[in-house]
């Protein structure tokens, strides 16, 4: 039997590692073809004494450490972090968050619109303008505006009151984005289903699509006037716009440069791969969420999202895909669990990871 490459010589099952038995032919090959395998005595010597012993027998390494760590490609994309990675407002003020992001080396920070904080309907143009000035003083850009409010008030809800409130809030977010000095507003256009909301009445797919198109169409004139892009996010868990082709059809149907894509790398990772979506979405990608995801677990909640690089995302392939479509905008790390203790550690760790991913820092060991 020929084993698939991913299976190799070891089998991982239920968290335990088992040796795979050799067939009689494999045993014979290993015993009779010394030119393709080191002898048993040599292997034991190597295990006991390391590479120096092999060098004494005339066996040398064929590649150098430098070959194993070639210079990493540099990318021109900008570093950003979402406010959810900070303990705001419980333990840190907005100014402290912006200053920490700046000190850690981020180019931008994405803010979140809610119902209670200073980033809410409680504030208006004067307050948002002051936040923009504060960011300018600190020297950090506001890379975009995001919100969880599309879930309690979905634009495609079967409840007309929820839909109306969702449209009202989306309009306020558009104005807030303009006042904050960002041209990026993340928009969730609708949901067929929301597993985390037991009270949500599922919306039929065709109805969801029709209502979503109508909602974005109503928001678009104001967005164009305010120079704010309505960037449609791929969610996957909401049962709507489940493939890149569906996203392309939805976005292109508005024939407006102000309807683009906010691409989230982690939202599709449970069953798909971001490097497959990016070439199809192409120039429509206006903003990006970097969410690390692990396919190793069985927890399908927000706990499946991990700190950057602590997952199974093929980041070299993802970054190269972004580069191939000419994307040079913000890469915003989105994470929902600020550290309970020493919260600045997550921010600095993420900045360091992005520096290495973008080739700003090179491994010299």
Let me know how long the chain is.
Answer: 365
Determine, yes or no, domain membership for 188. yes
Same domain, 120 and 261: yes
CB 226 within 8 A of CB 174: yes
56 and 83 both lie in a single domain: no
Q: Radius of gyration over alpha carbons of the chain, in Å?
A: 25
In-domain check, residue 3: no
How much is the pLDDT for 302?
Answer: 62
Percent of the chain with pLDDT over 90: 71
CA-to-CA distance for 343 and 362, rounded, in angstroms? Answer: 26
Q: How far is CA 115 from each of CA 56, 82, 173, 180, 215, rounded to the nearest angstrom?
A: 71, 17, 11, 17, 21
Indicate if 47 and 93 belong to the same structural domain.
Answer: no
Residue 155 lies in a domain: yes
Q: Are residues 20 and 91 in the same domain?
A: no
Q: What's the rounded Cα separation, in Å, for the pair 194 and 199?
A: 9
Say if residue 113's pLDDT is above 90. yes
pLDDT at 365: 72
Asked whether residue 205 falls in the same domain as residue 279, the answer is: yes
pLDDT at 83: 98
174 and 235 in a single domain? The answer is yes
Q: What are the Cα distances from residue 178, in Å, to 202, 217, 249?
A: 33, 19, 27
Distance CA(95)–CA(136), nearest Å, equals 11
Mean of per-residue pLDDT scores for the chain: 85
Q: Are residues 106 and 33 in the same domain?
A: no
Q: How confident is the model at residue 67 (pLDDT cuts 50, 70, 90)?
A: low
Averaged pLDDT for residues 59-78 = 72
Beta-bridge partners for 290: 333
CATH number reported for the structural domain that contains residue 267 in this entry: 3.20.20.150
Q: Which two tokens stand for residue 273?
A: 């791969």
* pLDDT single digits (tens) 349-364: 999 999 999 999 998 8
Lowest mean pLDDT among 39-53, 167-181, 297-311, 333-347: 39-53
Give a yes or no: residue 69 inside a domain: no
- The answer to the question of residue 70 being in a domain is no
Tell me: do 125 and 40 sit in the same domain: no
Do 24 and 107 fall within a single domain? no
* 173 lies in some domain: yes
Q: CA angle at residue 144 from 142 to 146, to 5 degrees?
A: 130
Of 240-249, 277-286, 333-342, minimum mean pLDDT range: 333-342
With respect to residue 73, please indicate whether it lies within any of the assigned structural domains: no
Which residues, at least 6 apart from 46, have a Cβ–Cβ distance to it below 8 Å? 38, 53, 54
Query: Are 176 and 245 contained in the same domain?
Result: yes
Same domain membership, residue 258 and residue 158: yes
- Residue 306 DSSP code: E
Does the pLDDT value for residue 24 go beyond 50?
Answer: no
Angstrom CA distances, 242 to 80, 236, 249, 321, 363, stand at 26, 5, 12, 20, 38
Q: Count each helix (H run) and each strand (E run) in the chain, helices first.
A: 12, 12
pLDDT at 303: 66
Given pLDDT bands bounded at 50, 70 and 90, which one contains residue 270?
A: confident
The domain total for the chain is 2
CA distance 326 to 321: 9
Predicted local confidence at residue 295, as pLDDT: 78
Residue 46 lies in a domain: yes
**Does residue 36 surpass a pLDDT of 70?**
no
Whether omega before 89 lies within 30 degrees of 0, making that bond cis, reads yes
Tens-digit pLDDT profile for residues 212-263: 999 999 999 999 999 999 999 999 989 999 999 999 999 999 999 999 999 9
CA distance 86 to 84: 5
> Are residues 82 and 33 located together in one domain of the fold?
no
Q: How confident is the model at residue 101 (pLDDT cuts 50, 70, 90)?
A: very high
Q: What is the extent of the structural domain holding 43?
A: 10-60
Per-residue pLDDT tens digits for 232-245: 999 998 999 999 99
The pTM score is 0.81
DSSP state of 72: P
Closest to 141 in 3D by CA, of 356, 4, 330? 330
What per-residue confidence (pLDDT) applies to 52? 41
């Amino acid at each position: 039997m020929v084993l698939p490459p991913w299976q190799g010589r070891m089998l991982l099952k239920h968290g335990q590692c088992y040796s795979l038995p050799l067939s009689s032919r494999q045993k014979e090959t290993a015993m009779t073809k010394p030119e393709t395998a080191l002898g048993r005595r040599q292997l034991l010597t190597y295990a006991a004494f390391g590479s120096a012993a092999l060098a004494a027998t005339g066996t040398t390494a064929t590649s150098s450490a430098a070959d194993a760590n070639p210079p990493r490609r540099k990318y021109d994309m900008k570093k950003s972090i979402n406010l959810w990675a900070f303990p705001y407002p419980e333990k840190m003020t907005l100014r402290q968050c912006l200053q920490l992001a700046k000190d850690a080396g981020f180019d931008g920070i994405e803010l979140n619109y809610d119902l209670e904080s200073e980033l809410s309907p409680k504030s208006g143009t004067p307050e948002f303008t002051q936040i923009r000035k504060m960011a300018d003083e600190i020297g950090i850009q506001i890379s975009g505006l995001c919100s969880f409010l599309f879930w309690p008030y979905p634009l495609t809800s079967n409840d007309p009151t929820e839909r109306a409130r969702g449209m009202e809030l989306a309009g306020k977010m558009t104005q807030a984005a303009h006042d904050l000095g960002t041209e990026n507003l993340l928009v969730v256009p609708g949901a067929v289903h929301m597993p985390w909301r037991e009270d949500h009445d599922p919306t039929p797919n065709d109805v969801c699509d029709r209502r979503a198109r109508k909602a974005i169409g109503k928001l678009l004139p104001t967005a164009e006037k305010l120079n704010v892009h309505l960037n449609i996010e791929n969610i996957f868990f909401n049962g709507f716009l489940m493939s890149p082709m569906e996203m392309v059809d939805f976005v292109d149907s508005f024939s407006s440069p102000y309807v683009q894509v906010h691409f989230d790398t982690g939202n599709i990772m449970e069953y798909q791969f971001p490097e497959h979506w990016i070439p199809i979405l192409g120039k429509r990608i206006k903003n990006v969420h970097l969410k690390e995801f692990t396919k190793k677990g069985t927890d399908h909640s927000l706990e499946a999202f991990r700190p950057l690089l602590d997952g199974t995302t093929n980041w070299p392939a993802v970054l190269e895909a972004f580069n191939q479509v000419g994307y040079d905008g913000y890469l915003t790390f989105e994470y929902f669990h600020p550290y309970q203790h020493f919260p600045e550690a997550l921010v600095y760790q993420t900045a360091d990871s992005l520096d290495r991913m973008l080739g700003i820092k090179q491994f010299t060991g």
